[in-house]
Amino acid sequence: MRLLLILWGLACVLAPITRATAPETAQHTNNLLVINCDPILREHGSVHLQTFLHWNDPRPMTTNLIRYIRESSGGYANFRLVDWIDSDAFPTKRDGFRYTEQSFLEMWRSKDKEKTAHQPDRCELRCHLQGIESRRAHSAGEDH
């Protein structure tokens, strides 16, 4: 019991000192744009790829990831979700390749995805964003 009182007393004395001398951690907030590519599978009842393959919902996963990064960095790294774009198309790769519903599902079902997945795998973001804007304008009746 006496040891507990000594530790408590020591904590009371040191707490104000450590708070006063601890440097303030700067927080860096980054704006985050999420492009959720979830193509519609027309040959499978017009369901989204996420639903068809029983993948997790990306919205709570994104929220949790933002929280985990903030917590694990001690508040240093913070992300603010400024926009979420749902795209119902397969993204275009940098070399111009784009999966079709059939080619993607064949690749996904393959036991050796490294051999069947298209390489290079990087997407052309600018082209993808232009396609999204074009589809938004078309669906809003503003055909350009």
Q: Domain for residue 1, yes or no?
A: no
Q: Indicate whether 134 pLDDT > 80.
A: no
93 — phi, psi (to 5°)? -80, 165
Q: Indicate whether 3 pLDDT > 80.
A: no
pTM of the shown model: 0.66
Q: Domain for residue 43, yes or no?
A: yes
Q: Domain for residue 18, yes or no?
A: no
Q: Domain for residue 4, yes or no?
A: no
Q: Domain for residue 6, yes or no?
A: no
**121: containing domain:** 26-139
Q: Domain for residue 2, yes or no?
A: no
What's the CA gap between 31 and 10, in Å, rounded? Answer: 43
Q: What is the predicted pLDDT for the residue at 142?
A: 57
Q: What is the predicted pLDDT for the residue at 128?
A: 66
Q: Domain for residue 101, yes or no?
A: yes
Q: Domain for residue 11, yes or no?
A: no
Dig out the tokens for 58 from the structure.
Answer: 């990306």
Total domains in the chain come to 1
What's the CA gap between 63 and 76, in Å, rounded? Answer: 17
33 — phi, psi (to 5°)? -110, 125
* Of the candidate ranges 32-36, 51-55, 76-80, 125-129, the one whose mean pLDDT is the lowest: 125-129
Q: What is the predicted pLDDT for the residue at 131?
A: 66
Q: Indicate whether 47 pLDDT > 80.
A: yes
Of all residues in the chain, the percent with pLDDT exceeding 90 is: 46
> What is the tens place of the pLDDT at every residue in 102-132?
999 999 999 888 888 899 878 877 766 766 6
Q: Indicate whether 35 pLDDT > 80.
A: yes
Give mean pLDDT, residues 82-103: 91
